[in-house]
Amino acid sequence: GARPRRHEYGDAADVLRRVFGYDSFRGQQQEIIDHVVAGGDALVLMPTGGGKSLCYQIPALVRKGTGVVISPLIALMQDQVDALRAQGVRAGFLNSTQDFEERRLVEAEFLAGELDLLYLAPERLKVPATAQLLDRAEVSLFAIDEAHCVAQWGHDFRPDYLALSALHERWPDVPRIALTATATPATHQEIAQRLKLEQARHFVASFDRPNIQYRIVPKAEPRRQLLKLLRTEHAGESGIVYCLSRSSVEKIATFLTENGIQALPYHAGLDARTRAANQARFLREDGLVMVATIAFGMGIDKPDVRFVAHLDLPKSVEGYYQETGRAGRDGMPSTAWLAYGLQDVVQQRKLIDTSEGDDAHRRRLAAHLDAMLALCETVECRRVRLLAYFGQQAEPCGNCDTCLDPPETWDGTVAAQKLLSTVWRLKRERNQSFGAGHVIDILLGRQTPKIAQNRHESLKTFGIGTELSEGEWRGVVRQLLAQGLLAVEGDYGTLALIEASQEVLRQRRQVPMRREPAKPAAVLLPGKAPDKGGR
């Protein structure tokens, strides 16, 4: 296409109005922009939708030279650059999707001083030719987007990002601005340290998203639960449903479609064209539901996503926050809904046990999962817990499930002891271990073939747990796992005691538990019209 004309850029406020068409800055944008325009380094922590892009785009336009943006979102670079060009900003990108000729053209523009912004994939920086290229023209600033990718403690570490620590040494006079939407205090420190940004000014926005209603429910019949949510609260609205695996994405998308809800699948196993087409439809059309793995969503800017539903447990609080953050970017009321069950915990532990990498890596993954489970099982305000995880304080919000409908708690100590001592006896008396299902069968005194075969009816704890239902026992197991009082091991997710379990068995520790809600209310069956009279 035609080369965009050079703007007559003025100061920051001028660029905001004339190039981007906005009247005023949001939040800390102005302070951040002024600081970087003046040549200062900055570390910006701002939630998704907060307006991070302008924080480097405007300084890049105001300062002399080209602003170099390092971003891992290769798939989005073309779109970002197209959007900027449509606004008259001279932008280009360099990444592995281009052929030699395309790259050469962008490089020529850069060398001629004809680019305001140059987007670079992090892997480009390892190539010596890239550094040599950057040396041959004027760089106005370095922007490091998704800066949490440099932190090993974070949930999204990318080894290529480590090379970014060299920016400061090679170009000490070029200001750097690192930006991220997710950072616990630990990640935040690690970013500052690895990028040598200790001297940078830190801009930390509130991570609260007051218009998002957080709800976490026990998983009973996930499809029916999801269908009920969509039909009763979000009929005809856009939303995202996250699933862990490609196959469940396909199944849920089909299930929703069969039940009259327009849904599209998105996962890395689909070919690039289908993915791009589904994404484009989701962005353009109203009332579509995207059923996706977490491969979907990074950098997606759709303001009216009314709900984000998780059918599987996210691996970390950061991931959960980032994914739910895609709801309600327009500030209107939105729902973040998560259904999780015992099987999720077992499955995630198994994934961690079998994951590649060293012990330290597995310990980090386990700590992330524990924090996620603690959020699920809390009896406090979800928002208070969520913000506390990011080092921020808040008051109970009145807009989450625990605030709106405070969970009843009960003293689960005796139940916990019954369950733990069953696991202990199996190990000590029989040298056996079993998954939750069989242990619960023992507690309920069921006569299953497996019980008969193992002669488990002769265990002292056989049949001592009939005061609770099977569902309630599963809740007990789940909460013990979440509270770090029980572990699951091995390929079959067998239950095992840990040190903390002994404290419960020896009466040294009380175990408060959330009361499980009664079975979820029935949902409207497929094909039936909404029935106002109730039944």
Residues forming the site for Zn ion (CB under 5 A): 381, 383, 397, 400, 403
Instruction: Supply the angle between the helices 359-377 and 342-353 in degrees, to the nearest 10.
Output: 170
Q: Is 363 exposed, middle or buried (0-12, 13-18, 19+ CB in 10 A)?
A: exposed
C-alpha distance from residue 171 to each of 65, 132, 168 (Å):
14, 12, 5
| Pairwise CA distance, residues 29 & 498, whole Å | 49
Residue 361 neighbours by CB distance under 10 Å: 14
Q: Which stretch binds ligand ADP (CB under 6 A): 41-49, 93-101, 211-219, 481-489?
A: 41-49
| Pairwise CA distance, residues 266 & 151, whole Å | 28
113, interface contact from ligand ADP, Zn ion, none, CB < 5-8 Å by kind = none
Per CB under 6 A, contacts with ligand ADP among 275-304 are 301
Smallest gap, in angstroms, from Cβ of residue 331 to ligand ADP? 10
Q: Which is nearer to ligand ADP, 236 or 303 (CB)?
A: 303
Residue 182 · residue 108 · CB < 8 Å: no
Smallest gap, in angstroms, from Cβ of residue 380 to Zn ion? 8
Residue 119 DSSP SS3:
strand
Q: Which is nearer to Zn ion, 400 or 480 (CB)?
A: 400
| Pairwise CA distance, residues 78 & 1, whole Å | 14
Q: Which is nearer to ligand ADP, 21 or 449 (CB)?
A: 21
301, interface contact from ligand ADP, Zn ion, none, CB < 5-8 Å by kind = ligand ADP
| Pairwise CA distance, residues 246 & 268, whole Å | 8
Q: Which is nearer to ligand ADP, 319 or 341 (CB)?
A: 319
Does residue number 46 form part of the binding site for ligand ADP (CB under 6 A)?
yes
Residue whose C-alpha is closest to residue 340's, from 308, 366, 371, 376 = 376
Smallest gap, in angstroms, from Cβ of residue 338 to ligand ADP? 21
Size of the site for ligand ADP (CB under 6 A): 13
What values do phi and psi take at 499, rounded to 5? -55, -45
Q: Which is nearer to Zn ion, 336 or 397 (CB)?
A: 397
Q: Which is nearer to ligand ADP, 301 or 489 (CB)?
A: 301
Q: Which is nearer to ligand ADP, 46 or 256 (CB)?
A: 46
| Pairwise CA distance, residues 29 & 68, whole Å | 19
Does residue number 49 form part of the binding site for ligand ADP (CB under 6 A)?
yes
| Pairwise CA distance, residues 191 & 448, whole Å | 54
Candidate list 28, 32, 50, 459; residue touching ligand ADP; CB under 6 A: 50
Site string for ligand ADP, 4-33 (x = CB under 6 A): ------------------x--xx--x----
Helix locations, 378-483, DSSP H? 382-389, 401-404, 413-430, 436-444, 449-454, 470-482
Does residue number 51 form part of the binding site for ligand ADP (CB under 6 A)?
yes
Instruction: Supply the angle between the helices 470-482 and 413-430 in degrees, to the nearest 10.
Output: 90
Does residue number 53 form part of the binding site for ligand ADP (CB under 6 A)?
yes
Max CA separation in the chain (angstroms):
87
335, interface contact from ligand ADP, Zn ion, none, CB < 5-8 Å by kind = none
Smallest gap, in angstroms, from Cβ of residue 515 to Zn ion? 18
Candidate list 12, 36, 48, 369; residue touching ligand ADP; CB under 6 A: 48
Q: Which is nearer to ligand ADP, 238 or 422 (CB)?
A: 238
Candidate list 28, 33, 45, 52; residue touching ligand ADP; CB under 6 A: 52
Q: Which stretch binds ligand ADP (CB under 6 A): 45-53, 240-248, 340-348, 438-446?
A: 45-53
54, interface contact from Zn ion, ligand ADP, none, CB < 5-8 Å by kind = ligand ADP
Three-state DSSP string of 401-427? HHHHCCCCEEECHHHHHHHHHHHHHHH
309, interface contact from ligand ADP, Zn ion, none, CB < 5-8 Å by kind = none
Q: Contact positions toward ligand ADP, by CB under 6 A?
A: 22, 25-26, 29, 46, 48-54, 301
